[in-house]
A and B are shown apart, each in its own frame.
Chain A
Amino acid sequence: MLSRLAESYFWIGRYLERAEATSRLLAEHHQLMVEERTVPEELAAAVLLDALSLPPSAATSAADLVTSVVGNASDPATISGSITMARENARAVRESLSADVFEALNAAHLAGIRGPIVATSPAYALYRVVERLAVVVGQIDWTVPRDLGYLFLSFGRSLERLDMMSRVLAVRHDQLWPEGGPVATLRAAAGLNAFLRTQHPMTGDEARRFLLLDEDHPRSMRVCAANAEDAVRGLAARGASDGGDLLREVGLLRSQLEYAVDPAPDEVDLLAELVQQSTARASDLVAAAFFRPSGTIVWSN
């Protein structure tokens, strides 16, 4: 498989997850800002922008925040930008990607996030985004052969999920809104029902621990790390190995999460930070090993 294709598959996975997770997070954050007006809007907006590594802006209201995070096609940290980037990467591998996946992704891109609905009912607009992305992911599930490309895509998805989950936790809804915060954090991670069925009581600390370490929820960091490790093992089994550094990085992360015993709240924060750092290293490692293979000529003027 061409390195260029591998890189695009990887980024399709990342941008799909980024767009979806950001949409959910924004919808819940916005809902809290609307329903529980105890936190000044400027502060609540700034916190989310910060967690998403978006530049602090003049967002002073819930509506401004939606505009900023929905963003535009040219900023890959925003929802519109992520969808555009996923689609552009899909375009670059169009010859090898299933037509169904491209079509679904293209449709999501063309539909955009626009119209008066974004202002009148952001929650509705964001729900439609998630719905369209679900079609893309469904087509991937149904039509993409489980080859190297798929493994790079899966690895990208797992890494981005880890990254987005650490951002969800970084918002600290529970500190901003002691009443509705924990529920919003769980909803942003699509984990409210999963949490309620297994955990009690509902507190911010319990919610965070759950999203870090749960064994079954597909977005818990522990499950994402295990998925990332599986993808790397799959790559190695098909002859795409970097000699073990990447496997070591994700394997170490997975085992640290898997064998963490009932961490205290501050240890949860430390683990979440570890996830951030490890994800960044893994992303660098995969790029260095597979996307810029030896033989690339580098020169300077």
Chain B
Amino acid sequence: MDGEQADAQAVGALKTVLDGLGEEGLAERGRLVDAYFNRQGITFNLAGRERPLPLDLVPRLLSAAEWRVIEQGVAQRIKALEMFLADIYGPGLVLEDGVVPRRLVTSSAHFHREAWGIEPPNGVRIHVAGIDLIRDEEGVFAVLEDNLRCPSGVSYVLENRRALAHVLPELFTDQLVQPVAEYPERLLDALLAAAPAGVADPQVAVLTPGVHNSAHFEHAFLARRMGVELVEGRDLYCRDDQVWMRTVRGPAPVHVLYRRIDDDYLDPVHFRPESVLGVPGLLSAARAGRVTVANAVGNGVADDKAVYPYVPDLIEYYLGEQAILPNIDTYDLQDADQRRFVLERLDRMVLKPVDGSGGYGLVVGDQATDAQLDQLARRVEADPRSWIAQRIVRLSTCPTVVDGGELAARHVDLRPFAVNDGDNVFVLPGGLTRVALPEGSLVVNSSQGGGSKDTWVVAEPDESPPYRPPDRPTPRLTRVLAAVPARIHSPAGHDERMRQQENQQQQAGGECPC
């Protein structure tokens, strides 16, 4: 594994199993895993077609030591970004102190004045975050971007693990993989912790745009695994600053709304008036402190790609710490000098639209034609605020099953998921590894032909205490009449005498198994 340092023992065990399977074995399991996802309907919509997110059979390994760095780095970043959001939607000290230029914040499409002054009950705005990481040429994990609005993909982390254990159980032999299944519970606990004060039995619901949304499977998955209602905008209404669900037993209050709808569509009173997905009055209810919207409205300003270069400064400003996870070198194109520097070497840069996601509109310099680069240069000159530039990072690679069951190196990134309950930032061990399946490709987004890998954080053997059998009461179980009518194994055409003997046998014991 190029640039990967997972411990040799785990890699060796994995290699033995994969070698043993051979190309044909791998291809066979590949078909099984596709069938598994299709059967379960674990799909996303791509260009109007439902399809499973391709799962690669080779898990990606992270050692416990590597994971500790990621875990601490992600938690640190989220704490700082929480403080940043509280600041700009409150006193604005960071702007006064000039750490982040005011123009950047106020010009962000995701900075919502409507959210100013809304105090979340437990101070949390980033209930769930997905921080995209890549491992650079030096083997160091660096942050590619933050996702603080509706990061998606966590359902695949859980389902990938289950699917892999289903179709390739032998891979797990001799591996101590940290489990991921607790995520929905952690999320529910964090959402309950964020409930408005004074509510005895807070009701949580997941708000989805509907079945046609590309991530609808995930919305349903999370609602199901948290045991809460999955609602659409039309199921909700606000009255007197309280949010209600329409149920067959009349209105039922909702106290925490885990929404998977963009800000723009959330409340037609304040944002897009034509939105039919949202709930009129939701923002007022949130402002009145009667409902918690998770993630909070206006988070997008903190994961704006133009704010991203300032995050290490924010960590230092708010926490007085050095960023544990570095940023990728990024250029602010509103600055004339930096812009000139970038435009001179466009073929060695990645340019990303600041409002884009899913890899749409992204241009990788060394893979673009001259004509494309010329056009790009003109667009950047015309509207520099809409773009950022980063140097091209050779993402690390992992062995990946390609056509016909062969293993080949493919580029990967990593999206760890974090849940903030106000006291603690929990980072799910592993996260979603996305893999660029076309050879040489650096774009891992599922919307651009990417797949995913199960990501294992492998515990060091001495980390896990030796297993002590628990104090199990010995169950007193008797197979109640594991008997069968004795006749059933008699040869065909058995005579009456035999039947009687069988009857007798039944009378006597009744427990004869055959």
Residues on A close to B: CB < 8 A? 4, 7-8, 11, 30-31, 34-40, 43, 47, 50-51, 53, 62-63, 74-77, 85, 88-89, 91-92, 120-124, 159, 163, 166-167, 170, 172, 175-176, 179-180, 183, 193, 195-202, 269, 273, 276, 279-280, 283-284, 287, 292, 296, 298-299
Contact = CB atoms under 8 A, between A and B. Distances in A.
Contact of B472 (A7, A120, A166, A175): A175
A182 B30 CA distance: 30
A31 B162 contact: yes
A180 B473 CA distance: 20
A299 B505 CA distance: 11
Given A76-B513, A124-B32, A298 B479 contact: no
Q: Is the interface of A mostly helix, strand, loop or mixed?
A: helix
Contacts of B177: 35, 37
Nearest to A14: B481
Interface stretch (B163-171, B334-342, B353-361): B163-171
Interface of B: 28-29, 32, 36, 161-162, 165-170, 172, 174-177, 179, 181-182, 185, 188, 224-227, 464, 467, 469-473, 475-485, 487-489, 503-504, 506-507, 510, 513-514
Contacts of A31: 162, 165-166
Nearest to A169: B475
A15 to B, nearest CB: 8
Contacts of B483: 76
Nearest to A198: B227
Contacts of A179: 179, 181-182
Nearest to A36: B179
Given A74-B514, A170-B477, A273-B476, A121 B484 contact: no
A193 B228 CA distance: 10
In the A-B complex, list the 7 residue pairs whose CB atoms are closest, starting with the nearest.
A196-B227, A170-B475, A175-B470, A88-B488, A53-B479, A123-B166, A34-B169
A283 B169 contact: no
Residue among A36, A193, A298 with most chain B CB within 10 A = A36
Given A36-B179, A172-B472, A77 B226 contact: no
A124 B32 CA distance: 9
18 contacts: A37-B175, A37-B176, A38-B176, A39-B467, A51-B475, A51-B477, A77-B482, A123-B165, A124-B32, A172-B470, A179-B179, A179-B181, A179-B182, A193-B227, A276-B476, A280-B478, A283-B481, A296-B503
A133 B510 CA distance: 26
A184 B485 CA distance: 34
B169 A183 contact: no
A120 B167 contact: yes
A47 B480 CA distance: 19
Nearest to A47: B472
A273 B475 CA distance: 8
Residue among B188, B225, B485, B489 with most chain A CB within 10 A = B485
B165 A89 contact: no
Given A167-B477, A276-B478, 16 more contacts: A11-B484, A35-B161, A37-B174, A38-B467, A40-B467, A43-B469, A63-B169, A77-B482, A89-B485, A123-B165, A159-B480, A163-B480, A170-B477, A283-B480, A283-B481, A298-B504
Contacts of B161: 35
B175 to A, nearest CB: 7
Contacts of A51: 475, 477
Contact of A91 (B179, B188, B480, B488): B488
Contact of A38 (B28, B464, B478, B510): B464
Given A37-B175, A62-B169, A280-B478, A196 B485 contact: no
B201 to A, nearest CB: 10
A85 B485 CA distance: 9
A172 B484 CA distance: 29
Given A43-B469, A298-B507, A37 B172 contact: yes
A298 B505 CA distance: 10
Nearest to B169: A34
Contacts of B32: 120-121, 124
A36 B510 CA distance: 41
B18 to A, nearest CB: 14
A280 B511 CA distance: 13
A51 B226 CA distance: 30
A34 B165 contact: yes
B175 A53 contact: no
Contacts of A74: 513-514
Contact of B29 (A76, A120, A199): A120
A273 B477 CA distance: 8
A201 B185 contact: yes
Nearest to B464: A38
Nearest to A35: B165
Contacts of B488: 85, 88-89, 91-92
Contacts of A175: 470-472
Nearest to B25: A120
Contacts of B475: 50-51, 166-167, 170, 273
Contact of A183 (B181, B471, B484, B504): B181
A103 B32 CA distance: 28
A276 B477 contact: yes
A186 B497 CA distance: 49
Contacts of A180: 179, 181
B41 to A, nearest CB: 14
Contact of B485 (A7, A163, A201): A7
Contacts of B167: 120-121, 123-124
A7 B179 CA distance: 47
